[in-house]
Structure 1
Amino acid sequence: MKTPVRLLLAALALITLPAAHAKDDEADKALGDARAFTDSGEYAKALERHEWYHKNALRINRAQYGVRLSFALSDWKDLADKYPPALASLKAIRDADVKELEAGTGKPETFHNVVSINEKLGEEAASVALFKSLDAKQPALAKKCFSRADKTLLNQGEVELFTKYGGGFVSYLEGEIANHEHVVAMMKSTAVPMSARSIKNSDERLVATTLELVALATKQGDATTVTKLKTLAFKSVPDPRIKP
């Protein structure tokens, strides 16, 4: 089973970040400069560096994929909280990607950009609306984008749309458990700083996903599924919150 991009993000961000900084390529320098300019109050310069990094990072080094949609966007949002033009710029990039998707020229990676930005902005409902549009007009693309939308659909209670692409709750969780164990094994096999933290974060994501699924199954009055979900997840992560 393929590991969804969203689960690889955390692991890849931690694995590639130290290597990328050691390489000291242009992308790393731009992101570092953006942080330094933000700290020194030179917000216009910081914004220029963020814009440059977002546009060029993957061209320079594909290993920047995870950092670009996680740490870098978090830094950009921090800047946007202090400097309104940074917020306008981030939204403009997001809106351009949305138009590209709606025009039928976007890719799953484009959708991932939008979802990641919306998450930082607290605008997950907009991601759901976009996915619904793809579902109605471009179902083939929606299918390819589902692995970037599933968590948002769950969080927003879009059960019908979620199950259309993700299948039943139990089969979906089985896939999540397999992906979680893959990430954990990968992190344990590498001598990467913060690998223990990454594993803990993966544990927490699996518990959170299980609890979301349990809540939805409970709402549907499906006690059998609730028990199956807890039993499966507890075997992988023996957390008292999901004990059967």
Structure 2
Amino acid sequence: MGQAHDVLERARAARLEGRHEDALRDHLWFHENALAVEPGMAGVRLSFALRDWIYLAEKFPLARRALQGLRDRDTARLLEGDGSRSGGARDLFRDIAAINGALGEERATHELFERLDLQAPALAQQCADLALPALAAAEDFALARRYLGDPAARVANLAANLNGYTEELVRSGNTSSAPALLSFVLNYAKEVRLVVEILHRQGEEESAAQVSRAALEELKSDALRDAVQREFDTPGATIAAMVAHARANVTEH
């Protein structure tokens, strides 16, 4: 493990030991520097690290204000056209949306996207897929539909990514990636449900039905179709499977 991983673990330990200022200092360092030293931590940075930050904020309100401060700084940078950071404006928007999601302030993402729609529509188009969950949460389905594009093409692309990931697992013979595959299934079902909800809310019932069918028909594996169908039928089934897999591994070891 590298430096960024060690700093995140140190932040977690400091929080558990009640050393809140030390934990916040490490969280700030990790958020600002992790990708420079360990690019592979991109997913962790906007998921587990933010989750731990919120746990800290529940005990130490200054941590919440610090996270809001980062969000506000990045929002100002985005609106000022600062795409100079690595990954550009789209990654800046991704950071903002992830922080808002962690804070439970998705409405701020909606408000930011509304401003981009008015002031920088080309940038709004680049960030639209990242904004759609917040637009749906705000029930701004008209704006969401405008940026959804071709729903059939969107679902076909999502299915191609899931098919490709599954085929790569089969080729590699990697039997330890079941949790990652289940996570992919969960995200796929979530994205499809979002597309279908937007279409429903805009009265496009036929398109919604077509997308729902295609979401299963585009998958190449019967097992994959079954897993996605279970998640459609019983939202949360995939998470239950992930928990069961983790418990089985603990029992085996």
TM-score for both structures, normalised by structure 1:
0.80
2:13 is matched with 36
1:191 is displaced (CA, Å) by 7.1
1:45-64 deviation per Cα after TM superposition (whole angstroms, max 9, x unaligned): 11111111111111112212
1:213 is displaced (CA, Å) by 2.9
Match of 1:65 among 6, 17, 42: 42
Instruction: Decide whether aligned partners of structure 1 residues 129 and 191 sit closer, same or farther in structure 2, where only a CA change above 3 A counts.
Output: farther
> Unmatched 5+ residue regions in structure 1?
1-20
The number of equivalent residue pairs is 220
Instruction: Please give the alpha-carbon distance, in whole angstroms, between the structure 2 residues aligned to 1:193 and 1:65.
Output: 24
Q: Is the 8 A contact 1:153 1:162 kept in 2?
A: yes
> Unmatched 5+ residue regions in structure 2?
84-88, 220-224, 234-253
Q: Which amino acid aligns with 1:222?
A: E
2:76 is matched with 99
TM-score for both structures, normalised by structure 2:
0.78
Q: Which amino acid aligns with 1:102?
A: L
1:116 is displaced (CA, Å) by 0.5
1:82 is matched with 59
Q: Is the 8 A contact 1:210 1:242 kept in 2?
A: no
1:8 is matched with none
Stretches (4+) displaced over 4 A: 186-194, 240-243
1:29-71 deviation per Cα after TM superposition (whole angstroms, max 9, x unaligned): 1111001111111111111111111111111122121111111
Instruction: Decide whether aligned partners of structure 1 residues 44 and 215 sit closer, same or farther in structure 2, where only a CA change above 3 A counts.
Output: same
Instruction: Please give the alpha-carbon distance, in whole angstroms, between the structure 1 residues aligned to 2:174 and 2:188.
Output: 21
Q: Which amino acid aligns with 1:80?
A: A
1:113 is matched with 95
- Percent of paired sites with the same residue: 30
Instruction: Decide whether aligned partners of structure 1 residues 212 and 234 sit closer, same or farther in structure 2, where only a CA change above 3 A counts.
Output: same
Instruction: Please give the alpha-carbon distance, in whole angstroms, between the structure 1 residues aligned to 2:147 and 2:201.
Output: 20
Instruction: Please give the alpha-carbon distance, in whole angstroms, between the structure 2 residues aligned to 1:223 and 1:36.
Output: 51
Instruction: Please give the alpha-carbon distance, in whole angstroms, between the structure 2 residues aligned to 1:134 and 1:220.
Output: 22
* SS class of match (1:105): coil
Instruction: Please give the alpha-carbon distance, in whole angstroms, between the structure 2 residues aligned to 1:131 and 1:97.
Output: 14
Instruction: Please give the alpha-carbon distance, in whole angstroms, between the structure 2 residues aligned to 1:86 and 1:114.
Output: 16
Instruction: Decide whether aligned partners of structure 1 residues 179 and 166 sit closer, same or farther in structure 2, where only a CA change above 3 A counts.
Output: farther
* SS class of match (2:81): coil
Instruction: Decide whether aligned partners of structure 1 residues 46 and 207 sit closer, same or farther in structure 2, where only a CA change above 3 A counts.
Output: same
1:192 is displaced (CA, Å) by 6.7
Q: Which amino acid aligns with 1:122?
A: G
1:161 is matched with 143
1:11-26 aligned at under 5 Å gives the runs 21=1, 25-26=2-3
